[in-house]
A and B are shown apart, each in its own frame.
Chain A
Amino acid sequence: MISDDSDAKSDWKKAIRDGLAAAGPICLGYIAIGLAFGVIAHKTGFSPCEIGLMSLIVYAGSSQFIAAAMFGADAGFFPIVLTTFSINLRHLLMSSSLSRYVRNLTVGRLSLFAYGVTDESFAVNMSRFQGGKWGWRQALIVNHSTNLTWIVSTVAGGIGGQFIPKGAFGLDYALMAMFICLLVFQFRRIEQILVSLISGVLAVIFCLIIPGNSYILIAAVISASIGLLLRKRTRRRCEIGGNP
């Protein structure tokens, strides 16, 4: 029992170190976007306390921006909640993808982890999980340290964000640069490069013709399915349909 405890303690120590290091780039980006959200939400009429509550309970950047705008336009409960749902539906795919790496967790830990799944934490955790040497503790630290950064930045933006110069230090580009690098990490096989090309082009087309951001989900589902077909053709596995 005692050795178990000290094992868990040193596991956590290492996880906190690794997790915080991995979360760094995300935090930079969240500070920039969080401050911007705080300023806008404050202008719409949210108190710093309400801003913090929204960041804590919803924790999803783009939907918070849109919700603030809809609040400003006096949209009702259902329009705002439905819009939020459709914007954040894409996390369905990310959680599905992550589920391969966080098996054997208690429901409590899984639920705590699920809360922090965002575009950014998904991208970082996924590339770390694929490289091995990454555990649920590290992933949990990434999710929650970035969440804390988001909450603090949005509240700070609501209190005094208008005093921060726009575009300071190129912070606005932190997340884009991170996504680009994490995409490069995904280029493990030619299939992945093909899939990302198809997905990118589809996403641009759908983004121009469909309002909202469902284009992300649609482009990803179609291109991953094309990738699956490509892989099946090249492998020519002779599997019999149905359960093993």
Chain B
Amino acid sequence: MKGAVIPVIIGMGIVTYIPRWLPLFLLTRHPLPPWLIDWLDFIPAAILSALILPAIVTGGEPRHLEWAKPDLWVAFPTLIIALITKSLAGTVVTGMALYWLAVHVYG
């Protein structure tokens, strides 16, 4: 694989930076229409959910549903802790501890 690493890294960097930069550049220069503000208001919840759910209920290659992952079962108590405590640090630390326990109990 030697030889062409640097050009590929630079190419990857450019195509990764453009989608990060372009909306920030364009959308901060003009007032946004109200519907777009409303739409963007849903994006965080939508993105987070789309990141979480597939990661905890699917696995393997090719991907298939997987119900036996500790990732899924630890998600329930983690969710409850988040709902009750509303503490990010508390949720992260408890989630990590539960996951560690789950993995070690699983064997």
Report if A and B associate in a common complex: yes
List the interface of chain A (C-beta within 8 A of B). 24-25, 28, 44-46, 50, 53-54, 57-60, 63, 67, 71-72, 74, 77, 80-82, 84-85, 88-100, 102-105, 107, 110-111, 113-115, 117, 119, 122-124, 126-127, 130, 167, 169-174, 176-187, 191-193, 195-197, 199-204, 207-208, 211, 215-216, 219-221, 223-225, 227-228, 231, 239, 243
A183 vs B46: C-alpha distance when bound (angstroms):
9
A118 vs B17: C-alpha distance when bound (angstroms):
11
Asked whether A196 and B16 contact (CB < 8 A) given A81-B11, A228-B38, the answer is no
Residue of A92, A99, A199, A221 near B49 (CB, 8 A) is A199
Within the complex, the shortest CB–CB distance from A182 to chain B, in Å, comes to 6
Chain B residues, CB < 8 A from A179: 48, 51-52
Contact A170 B97 (CB under 8 A): yes
Q: Across the two chains, which residue of chain B brings its CB closest to A224?
A: B42
Residue of B27, B50, B86 near A203 (CB, 8 A) is B50
Contact B42 A227 (CB under 8 A): yes
Contact B21 A177 (CB under 8 A): no
Contact A126 B96 (CB under 8 A): no
Q: Across the two chains, which residue of chain B brings its CB closest to A87?
A: B16
Residue of B8, B10, B89 near A67 (CB, 8 A) is B8
Residue of A178, A186, A223 near B92 (CB, 8 A) is A178
Within the complex, the shortest CB–CB distance from B58 to chain A, in Å, comes to 6
Contact B15 A169 (CB under 8 A): no
Chain B residues, CB < 8 A from A199: 45-47, 49-50
Contact A176 B95 (CB under 8 A): yes
A119 vs B19: C-alpha distance when bound (angstroms):
13
A91 vs B15: C-alpha distance when bound (angstroms):
11
Name 15 extra pairs, CB < 8 A, besides A176-B52, A228-B42: A28-B96, A50-B6, A60-B16, A81-B15, A84-B12, A85-B16, A99-B23, A111-B21, A114-B25, A119-B47, A122-B44, A176-B71, A177-B92, A181-B88, A201-B53
Contact B50 A173 (CB under 8 A): no
Asked whether A173 and B24 contact (CB < 8 A) given A84-B15, A93-B47, the answer is no
Residue of B24, B46, B53 near A224 (CB, 8 A) is B46
Chain B residues, CB < 8 A from A170: 95-101, 103
Contact A184 B52 (CB under 8 A): no
Q: What are 30 A-B interface contacts by the 8 Å CB criterion?
A: A50-B9, A57-B10, A58-B9, A84-B15, A89-B19, A90-B19, A92-B19, A110-B21, A114-B24, A130-B44, A170-B99, A170-B100, A173-B74, A176-B95, A177-B78, A184-B79, A184-B83, A185-B86, A191-B42, A197-B49, A203-B53, A204-B57, A220-B46, A223-B42, A224-B40, A224-B42, A224-B43, A227-B42, A228-B35, A228-B39
> Which of B12, B46, B54 counts the most chain A CB atoms within 10 A?
B46
